Amino acid sequence: MFGTPTRVPEECAELVPALRTGHAAILEALQAGGLAAPPYPQQLPAGNPQGTAAARAFAMQGVLKYHGLADWDWRTAYLPSISLNNDAAQTLTWVQFDPGLAADEVTIGGVPASGREYERVVRCLQFVREQARIGSAARVLTRNQLNSSAADGSAKGLGTSASGSAALAMAALAAAFGPQLGAHPRLLTCTARLLAGSGCRSAAGGLALWLSYPGIPHEDSYAVRLDQQAELRDVRLLTVPLPSRAGLHTEAAHKDAPRSSFFGAWLQSRTAEVLQCIAAAQRGDWQCLGEWAELDSMRLHGVTMSGSRTNKIFAWEPENITLFRMCNTLRSAGTPVYCSTDTGPTAVFITSAPHADTVVQAINSTLPGVTVVRGAIGDPANLGHALAARQQLQQ
């Protein structure tokens, strides 16, 4: 496995040399900024076939977004991406390997998982088993939590698939190898990518960059945190959970996006944008990051809805247009705020602590009755007490 390239889709093969060159430029910028990641461990010890661990991770909100998977098995992306961990929502996950268990048992939010949902969890577990050289099936208990009792749970685009992936990866690695390897930045973020690509950024925490391009080896497609000196401590994230009335599925959007005529231009502009965001993070320029998050929300939507000639995917709801216009009005009046959406209509407003109340008041005036969940920059995935986590998840 080590050093083996991932899949290069035929339709983008001619772009790969430029994307690989961009990857090298990004690595150089990370090195210059003191942000280089530790090497991927080339040799891992034999794992514990009866290990147990629990982990918690935060949801994320995209700044430079991504759509489309170059390799669906390894879940590598066509382009690098950046997101902010958002502590308004989180996932708690407990994993127990048990040699006496016939097959993996996965319970999500109190409901046994099945179908594609189950398959994606098992993919991550199987990778950990292979690395640990154990054959034990696993019990998995996991639950997403939005920090508001007012939300009805039907929101789409909260970024909890990312937090779920990060929490699962950390818990499974820690159960198999112990806490030190469970928290290894490169091993963890590469493993977290295997359920949901953006899970690697959730695992890294803060403002995180996920490195990827078609054909990238597994161990080189990892995430690194960019704000390592609390440069973004005053940033506030105000989440407006909104349901998708169209019944949106993220994986459908991943399949459609590369067929958009806009997709190639999106790929080719990314290296320069990543470099701008790395520089903005180092100088604490959250407004630059907010500008990119808002602009790329619109580009993501354009790519998403133009990938099919017949069944076009409209990820936004009417409320989104209203909220984006509200941001323009607020900025014209002197309030710095930016509206961001990922796959789905849920909106996250990026602003600073002194302006948070003004933005909340504007949201409530614009869309009376909507829930606004206040949050800040979320930490990396972290390990918790396994027994306490299990008891909490079984309640």
pLDDT score recorded for residue 307: 84
How much is the average pLDDT of 79-98?
Answer: 97
- Class of residue 331 by CB neighbours under 10 A (exposed 0-12, middle 13-18, buried 19+): middle
Residue in 92, 1, 93 with CA at minimum distance from that of residue 40: 1
Whether residue 284 contacts residue 232, with contact meaning beta carbons closer than 8 Å, is answered with yes
pLDDT at 159: 77
| Domain span including residue 113 | 10-394
Q: Tell me: the pLDDT tens digits for 142-176? A: 999 988 655 555 666 687 899 999 999 999 999 99
195 contacts 165 by C-beta, under 8 angstroms: yes
Number of structural domains the chain divides into: 1
Would you say residue 5 lies in a domain? no
pLDDT band at residue 274 under the 50/70/90 scheme: very high
H or E stretch covering 141: strand 137-146
CB atoms near residue 277 (< 10 Å):
22
| Residue 178 within a domain | yes
Strand-pair partners of 269: none
Q: Is residue 372 part of a domain?
A: yes
Q: Where would I find the H helices in 137-184? A: 160-177, 179-182
Helices vs. strands in the chain: H and E counts, helices first: 13, 14
Q: Which band of pLDDT confidence, cut at 50, 70 and 90, is reported for residue 343?
A: confident
What is the average per-residue pLDDT within 358-362? Answer: 98
Please give the pLDDT value at position 231.
94
| CATH code for position 200 | 3.30.230.10
Question: What is the C-alpha to C-alpha distance for residues 276 and 273, in angstroms, rounded to an integer?
Answer: 5
Beta-strand runs (E) in 165-306 = 207-210, 223-225, 235-240
pLDDT, tens only, 226-238: 999 999 999 999 9
User: Which pLDDT band holds residue 374 (cuts at 50, 70, 90)?
Assistant: very high
The SS3 assignment for 271 reads helix
Instruction: Kindly state whether residue 4 falls inside one of the protein's structural domains.
Output: no
Q: Is the residue at 120 inside a domain? A: yes
Flag whether 68 is in a domain: yes
d(CA 158, CA 301): 16
Q: Tell me the helix, strand and coil percentages in the chain, rounded to 5.
A: 40, 20, 35
**Torsion of the alpha carbons at 193, 125, 181 and 5, rounded to the nearest 10:** -50
What per-residue confidence (pLDDT) applies to 248? 64
The reply to whether 1 falls in a domain is no
What is the distance between the alpha carbons of residues 94 and 85, in angstroms, rounded to a whole number? 21
Tokens 């091993």, residue located: 187
In a domain? residue 2: no
